[in-house]
Amino acid sequence: DTQELTDVERAIETVINQFHCYAVKGQKEYLTPNEMRELVVQKLPHLGKCVGPLDEKIECMGDPDEAKLEFGEYWDMMGDAAKGCRRK
């Protein structure tokens, strides 16, 4: 199907692609807390600034080099962060 994506579909695709871009650095299907923090700092600077709990959630993941954030957890964190910005 060559139908053009809607703006919302492109946004979702971008969120998915960013996860895989950062996860692929280590040839894996998860992010470490350090990789998640790097993604937030580099790709979501405004979202990261307006939502303190996002950084707290990353901190709660545990050891920055050992903990694993799988895609579903990443997706949930992105949703929570977006909801937090919307409330402000």
- Tens-place pLDDT, residues 26-64: 678 898 888 888 888 888 877 766 656 667 777 787 777
Domain with 54 in it? 7-85
Interatomic CA distance for residues 26 and 22, integer angstroms: 8
pLDDT at 14 over 90: yes
pLDDT of residue 45: 79
Q: Do residues 76 and 37 lie in contact, with contact meaning Cβ atoms separated by under 8 Å?
A: no
Write out the two tokens for 19: 């996860």
Residue 14 lies in a domain: yes
Q: What is the CATH number for 29?
A: 1.10.238.10
The tally of domains found in the chain comes to 1
Q: What is the mean pLDDT of residues 12-28?
A: 85
Average pLDDT, rounded, for the chain: 81
Rounded Cα–Cα distance for residues 80 and 88 (Å): 13
